[in-house]
């Protein structure tokens, strides 16, 4: 490990670990990030840039990093990971991205040579023609070259969600956040403190700026504060957790890395997505240093000054002994002091401010330590082969001086990290003193503290916190903060320096992630993109995964100068969540694979599994689709077999999923007459009736069988997937339209398991099971039901059929369901009783001509369209949808109507969903529209007829009875003539 170490650093454990970068093993320390580990090994070249494949190094020391993105090979091949925040561990295997064949020799860097033609808007202007090139040449080529890392394959991450309901959320465990937390210790407020790092302290651990707090050194003070918080009964700390999103109302999302600095255990959750609902949010998330644009400001070796200092103080590694420092503000002297403390010395201190504007203390310190000082100067550019070797300084007399240096540390000022504040819809304002935007008016219960609020002065911090948190009515804090630097922040505006060397390949970048140059900004404005949102999209400025954290204000500065406007007039682009990239695995949580959607099972489910059922999803229900007799039996064969057997002897279907609703009250009859199209007034008790429910638009909503126990008590069945909707529909009308009706309804779907048994042998089977009941036609006619005692409970049997055969529906408590089901099979064995699934149910009902709501209907079908006029109670005064049925549109004769369809050539099969047309000779290539009559809604091969039978919704279908129609095939070129009947 050749780099110099800061042995005073308390945040790195000196236990050695091994990391692999691009196939080569390196030593690092436990607690290192990938970036600090690479710096420790003097590796400056980390990757290649997005567009021009320029060599790139480590630019920052945090979430704002635009350059150092790497692929983690041993973590599901995770791409685009920020080396500056990814914690290293023993055995981590990393590789660089966007290069081939190697990082040092990358063929893609030819793009840099061609860069003069890849200016802003290149894609929009270039790929306009010739016609056909986009699909065949441009798009495949762009897709192949686009992106940085390679997407992971066979990726299966485990992440979970954790909800929190709290009183106060503190975002950031830095100085301000810790002071706020101290104030809230042992109060009645339930507080959550969230810190993105594995250590608390923020600026106290990242820099040398603060000397002592209340007479204690900063490390001791942070330790004491953390212990105080942990001992309290009201504050919880989450480390390695980044708040990414601030939603309405005070709902924040944070992502915790459970394996920060550790090898992933695939049996545990890697990430926790915290969903935090709070009453108040304290944003103490600090600031981000911005860069300055100059020639070749992207070369490896250019690193932001505060990041350089963070590597020294937080990670105990000195990236370079003699860096050049380039600044426009007072904060960088802290870096100089950190270096001097380690017996290192900057090779140059370049300050754009006039000598008289620079703090005396800074000037004296530079002179005292014999540091070459260049006031009123700026960096013109830097040069080198894949790293900084020379720095060019334009001095106060406009001369260009060259110095040798392997690192250059610019600082363009500090931006309050207002991202979360603006996500919360808070308003920001431009502050001329700090030359940046800072929070102004909060939209939610948001409080900003410390540098995020634009307060860079430590002496004011206590007062600010006491004032802003006074509404909580807790004791005032009184802490004395001693600093190593002058506390009053001063800065001069500087966004870009003047470039002398005119080279087509020298670039001054404004967005390092997306390779956008300052020249691109100027060109875009010249082309008319002078609105900041348009400019952003045209140039892709600040649209990378870093969202321009170190550069977006700089681009506003440059644009404002070109447009000759104030920055506040130019405005900002919209800050959108997330603050930093979130993986889809984290967002999905456990709602993936087997838990993608909740599953509902009937009480007979395990029997179905044992008997080789193949399931289909009906809503959330798992329903047997068909039962395989043997492994090789296809669905077609199984359905044909089940259908034939049911028609020949008997079949049984698990119909437990059907919705069941109990309706009771003195006005139940009136209510049912209003809810359904049918009339129930003359219906005898203990009889049942097939009924239709319409929406207010007159369209069919659901169907079912209504059992009338008496005028005050009904039980209705619904479709499986329609049950919740029907219950809600009934409840809504009871509560809003007809509150005068004294009716109560309960869902009893789960309280009764339902079996539908049908076929010619049904009566014989069922008589053997329920020996006390007379199932004869005389005593148990069609559409009647009986309740009787079975074991310890009550069962209900209804004579009804959805197959056209003799059929009964049995309703039994789930407690006895499997026992009864098996009993039916025991007695049904002699009669060849077969279990059948939903596909056979559909086939059997289609043979009979019964409709399925949701298959023949689609929310645009009236009862008249499917020839269900007979189900409408003509003498009924009113029912839901009645008025709509009288509308001219619903009464039209040329509406789509339900017809049966059979192919003329019986060897042909018609697919569901195919279009029905009148045109006999459908052209092989359809160039002009062909009149569309309708579509095939159901189609099956009938084993009893031995040919295809289908249903279709066709325009004026009733008038076309007996006519020959044509059905297009999926290929659209062939046609089958068919006859509707």
Partner 1 sequence: MTKLISTHGVDITQKNFQQILIRGDGREQFNQVINKEITLQPPSKNLEVKTNDKFIFAKNSFDQWTLVYLFEQDYKKILKIISNLNSNDKILASDYSYGQVYFEVSGKNKNEFLNKLTQFDFREKKFPNFSMAQTLIARIDCYIYKLNEKYIITCNKSYEDYFKERLMDLINL
Binding mask 730-769 for partner 1 (x = CB under 8 A): ------------x-xxx-xxxxx-----------------
Does position 941 interact with partner 1 (CB under 8 A)? The reply is no
Does position 608 interact with partner 1 (CB under 8 A)? The reply is no
Residues touching partner 1: how many (CB under 8 A)?
46
Helix (H, G, I), strand (E, B) or coil at 224: helix
Token look-up 């148990």 returns: 780
Token look-up 């070369």 returns: 299
- By beta-carbon proximity to partner 1, the closer residue of 656 and 758 is 656
Does position 415 interact with partner 1 (CB under 8 A)? The reply is no
Other CB atoms within 10 Å distance of the CB of residue 869? 12
Q: What is the rounded distance in angstroms from the CA atom of residue 95 to the CA atom of residue 34?
A: 11
Binding mask 648-677 for partner 1 (x = CB under 8 A): --------------x-xxx-----------
Does position 774 interact with partner 1 (CB under 8 A)? The reply is no
Does position 712 interact with partner 1 (CB under 8 A)? The reply is yes
Does position 268 interact with partner 1 (CB under 8 A)? The reply is yes
Helix (H, G, I), strand (E, B) or coil at 283: strand
The H or E element containing residue 140 is: helix 139-145
- How far lies 712's CA from each of 278, 280, 726, 799, 904, in Å? 49, 53, 19, 22, 52
Q: What is the rounded distance in angstroms from the CA atom of residue 780 to the CA atom of residue 782?
A: 7
Q: How far is the CB of 419 from partner 1 (least distance, A)?
A: 24
Please give the biggest Cα pair distance in the chain: 116
User: Of 1, 20, 160, 401, which one interacts with partner 1 (CB under 8 A)?
Assistant: 160
- Joined tokens for residue 55: 């060599």
Q: What is the rounded distance in angstroms from the CA atom of residue 390 to the CA atom of residue 400?
A: 12
- By beta-carbon proximity to partner 1, the closer residue of 18 and 713 is 713
Among the listed residues 353, 342, 280, 287, the one whose alpha carbon sits nearest the alpha carbon of residue 309: 342
Piece of 107-115, 172-180, 205-213, 593-601 that binds partner 1 (CB under 8 A): 593-601
Does position 27 interact with partner 1 (CB under 8 A)? The reply is no
User: Of 164, 345, 386, 768, which one interacts with partner 1 (CB under 8 A)?
Assistant: 164
Binding mask 866-905 for partner 1 (x = CB under 8 A): ----------------------------------------
Q: How far is the CB of 667 from partner 1 (least distance, A)?
A: 10
Torsion of CA 238, 444, 580, 62, to 10 degrees: -60
- Indicate the DSSP class of residue 911: P
- By beta-carbon proximity to partner 1, the closer residue of 126 and 591 is 591
- By beta-carbon proximity to partner 1, the closer residue of 536 and 623 is 623
Does position 267 interact with partner 1 (CB under 8 A)? The reply is yes
Among the listed residues 649, 726, 717, the one whose alpha carbon sits nearest the alpha carbon of residue 695: 726
In 126-209, the DSSP E strands lie at 159-171, 191-194
Among the listed residues 657, 658, 659, 660, the one whose alpha carbon sits nearest the alpha carbon of residue 608: 657
- By beta-carbon proximity to partner 1, the closer residue of 251 and 345 is 251
Binding mask 510-529 for partner 1 (x = CB under 8 A): --------------------
Q: How far is the CB of 706 from partner 1 (least distance, A)?
A: 16
- By beta-carbon proximity to partner 1, the closer residue of 463 and 597 is 597
- For residues 801 and 650, the answer to whether their CB atoms sit within 8 Å is no
Binding mask 284-323 for partner 1 (x = CB under 8 A): ----------------------------------------
Q: What is the rounded distance in angstroms from the CA atom of residue 46 to the CA atom of residue 95?
A: 9
User: Of 239, 275, 522, 644, which one interacts with partner 1 (CB under 8 A)?
Assistant: 275
Helix 518-526 vs helix 532-539: crossing angle, to nearest 10: 120
Helix (H, G, I), strand (E, B) or coil at 952: strand
- By beta-carbon proximity to partner 1, the closer residue of 275 and 827 is 275
Binding mask 363-402 for partner 1 (x = CB under 8 A): ----------------------------------------
Helix (H, G, I), strand (E, B) or coil at 423: helix
Query: Which residues in 610-649 contact partner 1 (CB under 8 A)?
Result: 621
Query: Which residues in 176-215 contact partner 1 (CB under 8 A)?
Result: 190
Exposed / middle / buried, residue 478 (Cβ in 10 Å: 0-12, 13-18, 19+) = exposed
Q: How far is the CB of 267 from partner 1 (least distance, A)?
A: 7
Q: How far is the CB of 814 from partner 1 (least distance, A)?
A: 5
Q: Which residues lie across from 357 on neighbouring strands?
A: none
Does position 263 interact with partner 1 (CB under 8 A)? The reply is no
Among the listed residues 861, 515, 567, the one whose alpha carbon sits nearest the alpha carbon of residue 700: 861
Interacting residue ranges for partner 1, rule: CB under 8 A: 158, 160-165, 190, 267-269, 275, 277, 590-591, 594-595, 597-603, 621, 662, 664-666, 712-713, 742, 744-746, 748-752, 792-794, 813-815
């Amino acid at each position: 490990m050749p780099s110099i170490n800061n042995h005073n650093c308390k945040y790195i454990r000196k236990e050695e670990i091994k990391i692999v970068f691009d196939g080569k093993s390196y030593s690092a320390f436990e607690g290192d990030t990938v970036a600090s580990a690479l710096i420790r090994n003097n590796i400056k070249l980390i990757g290649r840039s997005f567009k021009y494949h320029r060599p790139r190094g480590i630019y920052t020391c945090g979430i704002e990093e635009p350059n150092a993105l790497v692929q983690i090979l041993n973590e599901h091949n995770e791409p685009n990971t920020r080396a500056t925040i990814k914690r290293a561990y023993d055995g981590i295997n990393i590789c660089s991205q966007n290069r081939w064949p190697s990082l040092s020799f990358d063929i893609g860097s030819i793009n840099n040579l061609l860069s003069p033609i890849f200016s802003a808007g290149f894609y929009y202007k270039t790929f306009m023609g010739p016609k056909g090139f986009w699909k065949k040449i441009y798009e495949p080529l762009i897709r192949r070259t686009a992106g940085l890392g390679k997407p992971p394959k066979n990726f299966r991450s485990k992440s979970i969600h954790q909800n929190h309901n709290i009183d106060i959320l503190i975002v950031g465990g830095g100085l301000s956040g810790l002071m706020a937390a101290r104030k809230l210790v042992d109060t009645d407020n339930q507080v959550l403190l969230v810190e993105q790092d594995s250590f608390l302290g923020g600026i106290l651990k990242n820099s040398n700026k603060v000397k002592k707090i209340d007479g204690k050194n900063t490390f001791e003070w942070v330790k004491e504060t953390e212990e105080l918080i942990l001992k309290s009964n009201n504050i919880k700390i989450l480390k390695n957790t980044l708040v990414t999103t601030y939603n309405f109302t005070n709902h924040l999302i944070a992502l915790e890395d459970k394996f920060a600095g550790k090898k992933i255990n695939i049996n545990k959750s890697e990430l926790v997505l915290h969903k935090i609902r709070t009453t108040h949010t304290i944003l103490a998330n600090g600031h981000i240093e911005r860069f300055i644009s100059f020639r070749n400001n992207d070369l490896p070796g250019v690193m932001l000054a505060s990041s350089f200092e963070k590597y020294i103080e937080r990670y105990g590694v000195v990236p370079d002994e003699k860096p050049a420092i380039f600044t426009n503000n007072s904060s960088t002297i802290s870096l100089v002091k950190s270096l001097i403390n380690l017996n290192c010395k900057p090779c140059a201190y370049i300050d754009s401010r006039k000598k008289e504007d620079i703090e005396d203390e800074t000037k004296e310190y530079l002179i005292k330590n014999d540091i070459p000082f260049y006031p009123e100067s700026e960096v013109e550019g830097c040069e080198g082969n894949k790293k900084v070797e020379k720095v060019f300084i334009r001095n106060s007399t406009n001369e260009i001086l060259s110095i040798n240096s392997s690192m250059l540390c610019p600082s363009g000022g500090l931006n309050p990290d207002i991202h979360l504040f603006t996500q919360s819809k808070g308003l920001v304002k431009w502050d001329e003193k700090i030359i940046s935007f800072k929070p102004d008016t909060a939209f939610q219960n948001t409080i900003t503290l410390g540098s995020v609020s634009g307060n860079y002065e430590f002496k004011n911090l206590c007062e600010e916190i006491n004032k802003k948190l006074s509404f909580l009515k807790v004791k005032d804090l009184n802490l004395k903060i001693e600093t190593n630097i002058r506390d009053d922040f001063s800065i001069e505006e500087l966004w870009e320096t003047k470039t002398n060397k005119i080279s087509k390949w020298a670039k001054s970048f404004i967005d390092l992630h997306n390779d956008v140059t300052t020249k691109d900004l100027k060109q875009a404005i010249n082309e008319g993109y002078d609105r900041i949102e348009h400019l952003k999209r045209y140039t892709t400025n600040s649209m990378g995964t870093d969202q321009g954290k170190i550069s977006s204000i700089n681009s506003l500065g440059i644009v404002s100068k070109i447009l000759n406007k104030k920055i506040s007039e130019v405005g900002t682009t919209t800050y959108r969540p997330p603050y930093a990239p979130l993986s889809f695995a984290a967002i999905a949580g456990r709602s993936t694979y087997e838990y993608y959607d909740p599953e509902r099972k009937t009480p007979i489910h395990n029997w179905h599994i044992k008997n080789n059922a193949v399931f289909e999803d009906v809503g959330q229900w798992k329903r047997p689709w068909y039962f395989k007799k043997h492994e090789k039996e296809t669905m077609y064969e199984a359905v044909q077999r089940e259908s034939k057997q049911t028609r020949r002897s008997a079949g049984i279907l698990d119909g437990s999923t059907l919705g069941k609703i109990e309706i009771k009250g003195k006005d139940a009859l009136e209510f049912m007459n209003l809810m359904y199209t049918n009339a129930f007034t003359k219906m005898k008790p203990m009889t049942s009736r097939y009924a239709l429910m319409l929406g207010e638009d007159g369209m069919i909503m659901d169907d079912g069988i209504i059992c009338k126990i008496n005028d005050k008590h009904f039980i209705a069945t619904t479709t499986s997937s329609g049950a919740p909707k029907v219950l809600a529909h009934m409840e809504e009308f009871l509560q809003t339209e007809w509150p005068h009706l004294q009716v109560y309804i309960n869902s009893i779907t789960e309280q009764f398991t339902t079996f539908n048994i049908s076929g010619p042998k049904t009566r014989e089977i069922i008589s053997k099971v329920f020996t006390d009941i007379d199932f004869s036609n005389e005593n148990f006619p069609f559409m009647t039901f009986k309740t009787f005692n079975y074991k310890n409970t009550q069962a209900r049997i209804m004579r009804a059929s959805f197959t056209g055969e003799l059929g009964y529906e049995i309703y039994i408590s789930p407690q006895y369901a499997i026992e009864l089901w098996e009993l039916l099979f025991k007695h049904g064995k002699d009669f060849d009783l077969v279990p059948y699934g939903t596909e056979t149910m559909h086939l059997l009902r289609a043979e009979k001509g019964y409709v399925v709501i949701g298959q023949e209907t689609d929310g645009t079908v009236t009862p008249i369209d499917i020839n269900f006029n007979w189900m409408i109670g003509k003498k009924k005064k009113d029912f839901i949808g009645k008025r709509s049925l009288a509308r001219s549109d619903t009464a039209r004769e040329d509406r789509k109507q339900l017809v049966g369809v059979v192919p003329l050539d019986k060897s042909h099969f018609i697919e569901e969903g195919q279009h029905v047309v009148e045109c006999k000779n459908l052209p092989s290539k359809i160039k002009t529209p062909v009149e569309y009559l309708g579509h095939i809604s159901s189609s099956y091969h009938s084993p009893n007829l031995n040919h295809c039978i289908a249903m279709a919704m066709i325009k004026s279908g009733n008038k076309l009875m007996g006519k020959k129609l044509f059905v297009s095939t999926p290929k659209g070129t062939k046609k089958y003539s068919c006859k509707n009947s």
